[in-house]
Structure 1
Amino acid sequence: MNLHLASRLQNIAPFHVMELAKMAADLERQGRHIIHMGIGEPDFSAAPAVIEAASRAMAGGQTRYTSAVGLPALRKAISDYYRQTYRLEVQPSRIIVTAGASGALLLACAALVEKGAEVLMPDPSYPCNRHFVAAFDGIARLVPSGPADRFQLSDAMVRSNWNANTRGVLLASPSNPTGTTIAPEELKKIVTTVREKGGFSIVDEIYQGLTYGDAPFSALSLGEDIIVINSFSKYFSMTGWRLGWLVVPEAMVPQMEKLAQNLFICASAIAQHAGLACFLPESIAIYESRRQEFQRRRDFIVPALERLGFSVPVLPDGAFYVYADCSALSDDADKLTIAMLNDAGVVMVPGLDFGPSAAHRYIRVSYATSMENLCEAVQRLERFFAQRKAG
């Protein structure tokens, strides 16, 4: 059979994170013990109340289609969460429940990205974000960003890179792969510039619950024209439940509902009923203790990496990633991560997935694993680098 595939597939690259995961799985089948510091998935499961709510939903037959925009009770619970956590009034009618943050990004790009439209985003950034743009025949224009700008877009970058084909920006704060946030004042400048140019601002906030240090902040505070993506996957530890949400301007809701009806019908009914329990006080207390544990892990792994010879030019203040410069140890991050996997049994991810500008010198380290595993990984890497130096 000789099928003619759509040309847009040429603009979507393989996800090397998953390729390394497959290599690691092969080693595990051979009996090796592998420490996974590659994939960005919390090692915690959903809170007990969430699991109980899912069980009740299934037992009670709450498994039928819901509204395409989500259960009214869940949309209100998310609205209440913004009020309690961020001191923001976000009307439930502006909240669209989706099949994960990926579903939210798909809807946003379907609504806003036209053929040939350019969308600015930083290099490095999460690869799937640019592929959502490519899926609708848009062009993700990656703007190289380094430590001086916290690996994020700045207002100056937006101004200097905007052209006649630019339609908007797609930002992430905190970011995958860097774990860095955009300073609120800088984000305000970016949004103002984009607004002046008649463009759209999409802000991926799926790690927003996992920030360390400053008061909670959401881009939604910058105006009702901001489009925000969020998820139950990271802070709420529900990766496989595939539940997220999208906040859009009120005028966009009917169009987004139409898209959701046609593309998804609805998010999982069971996951939605379970998601309501995320906002119970006892669940929030668990999630906050986990956030503190992630910060403890960050405070362990960053100096440990620096002792090993990596450089961490920007301290991550969110998510559970460190973007580490390995140029003092190797001139090829890809080869280094493969060697660390094969020789030390530790999975980390090269910068190759996240953008071409400095991919050879950076690796992404995920500390979404136990402290015991982190300690063992550091010991293994100490031996690994000592042997390389001796050999």
Structure 2
Amino acid sequence: MNFSPLASRLGNIAPFHVMELAKMAAALERQGRSIIHMGIGEPDFTAAPAVIEAASRAMAEGLTQYTSALGLPALRAAIAGHYLRTYGLQVAPERIIVTAGASGALLLACAALVEQGAEVLMPDPSYPCNRHFVAAFEGQAKMIPSGPAERFQLTDAMVRANWGAATRGVLLASPSNPTGTSIDPAELGRIVASVTERGGFTIVDEIYQGLSYDAAPFSALSLGEDVIVINSFSKYFNMTGWRLGWLVVPESLVPHIEKLAQNLFICASAISQYAGLACFAPESLALFEERKAEFRRRRDYIVPALEEIGFRVPVKPDGAFYVYADCSALADDADRLTIDMLEQAGVVLVPGLDFGSHAARQYIRLSYATSMENLQEAVARLKTYFKRGTGLAPGFTLPK
């Protein structure tokens, strides 16, 4: 059955290339091919044992009914305790809203703040869903080209230069997907001050903040209570499919977010919320730190390995589990290159086209959220692929 007319906003939502590559990879696997997945950003670790036990206990005890739209009071308090313990920040539990993943948090924030025609500044490249949340509420994501000199992030100067009559705020991610790079805290402070001076909002996606490797723990919440922060149990806490996240907002915004949450979600999964409480148990936190150290070990292997093949990594990632690599010395089109590497070498990487338009055909994103054995095998396959030089799409050249 065909539905007509469809909402015009659908035209503003682009396909997600990583998911298309995942479908192509699945088809090859059904043919018996061995495929190494380094496309989707999902930890290869699963939930901690204490988390699984807590979920089982919640189900056994019948704790499966609706919770408050703002989340379990105990979980909100536990998240507040996490900010105090990790960042030395006093965050009132009343400012914390438990959501259906970071996606739910972004949806609620955009529903509350983005109007038709409102412009939101973001760096190009950025995680594609962020701009699509803005588009879903008929706003306009203004993508500002950002390169290695800016660590693929926005700077205060870029924000001030691009702020216009329709601009309502900025949406940032630190560390970022796809680049794994963070914004220097001092620079972020300058951005927040400029946005506040102009009466705008600052949303900072900190979903990868727990996976920061090279600097002291930092949260944008230290820059003032007007900053809106999004986080999740998916990445550091290894709970992607549990769909549990949170949103920290100014106290004045809480009743408005609550009204939206009541109508759009009712609440986050009760079972996931009870399970999430166990993330803050000492044994769970110790495990997460061990896994974080393993991610760092993988980063420290894969970056020089890529450079040895012929990729260029202009900014070493300091967080998350991604490398944003320049492939221009190897090929003239990252999109075709990723398809060819999948078909010829059985390795899934993601083209820069997913993340924006600025130099997009020059970059690929690699996720090192897979085992060291898989990373080593992928590197071996890619070395063979480029040395062989057969089957490459037109325009490809071998590494220098």
Same fold (TM over 0.5): yes
Q: 2:168 aligned with 1:167, yes or no?
A: yes
How far apart, in 1, do the equivalents of 2:105 and 2:216 lie?
Answer: 26
The 5 Å alignment of 1:97-112 reads 97-112=98-113
Other-structure match for 2:392? none
Q: Which amino acid aligns with 1:373?
A: N
Other-structure match for 1:129? 130
Q: Which amino acid aligns with 2:72?
A: L
After TM superposition, which residue ranges in structure 1, 4 or more long, deviate above 2 angstroms?
Answer: none
The Cα shift of 1:138 comes to 0.1
TM-score, normalisation: structure 1: 0.99
Query: Any stretches of 5+ residues in structure 1 without a counterpart?
Result: none
How far apart, in 2, do the equivalents of 1:297 and 1:357 lie?
Answer: 28
* Residue aligned with 1:143, SS: strand
Q: Which amino acid aligns with 1:61?
A: G
* Residue aligned with 1:209, SS: helix
Q: Which amino acid aligns with 1:307?
A: E
How far apart, in 2, do the equivalents of 1:98 and 1:387 lie?
Answer: 49
* Residue aligned with 2:82, SS: helix
How far apart, in 1, do the equivalents of 2:259 and 2:96 lie?
Answer: 14
Other-structure match for 2:327? 326
Other-structure match for 1:78? 79
Q: Which amino acid aligns with 1:123?
A: D
Q: Which amino acid aligns with 1:376?
A: E
How far apart, in 2, do the equivalents of 1:117 and 1:290 lie?
Answer: 40
Q: Which amino acid aligns with 2:272?
A: A
TM-score, normalisation: structure 2: 0.97
The Cα shift of 1:282 comes to 0.2
Q: 2:256 aligned with 1:255, yes or no?
A: yes
How far apart, in 1, do the equivalents of 2:221 and 2:64 lie?
Answer: 32
Classify 1:296/1:75 alpha carbon distance in 2 versus 1 (closer, same or farther; 3 Å): same
Other-structure match for 1:54? 55
The Cα shift of 1:2 comes to 4.2
List per-residue Cα deviations over 1:47-83 (Å, max 9, x = no partner).
Answer: 0000000000001100000000000000000000000
Other-structure match for 2:273? 272
List per-residue Cα deviations over 1:246-267 (Å, max 9, x = no partner).
Answer: 0000000001000000000000
Q: Which amino acid aligns with 1:15?
A: F
Classify 1:390/1:131 alpha carbon distance in 2 versus 1 (closer, same or farther; 3 Å): closer
How far apart, in 2, do the equivalents of 1:184 and 1:320 lie?
Answer: 20
Other-structure match for 1:198? 199
* Residue aligned with 2:278, SS: helix
Other-structure match for 1:8? 9
List per-residue Cα deviations over 1:291-323 (Å, max 9, x = no partner).
Answer: 000000000000000000000000000000000
List per-residue Cα deviations over 1:217-264 (Å, max 9, x = no partner).
Answer: 000000000000000000000000000000000000001000000000
* Residue aligned with 1:195, SS: helix
Other-structure match for 1:227? 228
Q: 2:1 aligned with 1:31, yes or no?
A: no
Q: Which amino acid aligns with 2:275?
A: A
State the Cα RMSD in Å: 0.9
The Cα shift of 1:390 comes to 7.9
Q: Which amino acid aligns with 2:123?
A: P
* Residue aligned with 1:189, SS: helix
Other-structure match for 2:69? 68
Query: Any stretches of 5+ residues in structure 2 without a counterpart?
Result: 390-396
How far apart, in 1, do the equivalents of 2:93 and 2:324 lie?
Answer: 36
The 5 Å alignment of 1:180-219 reads 180-219=181-220
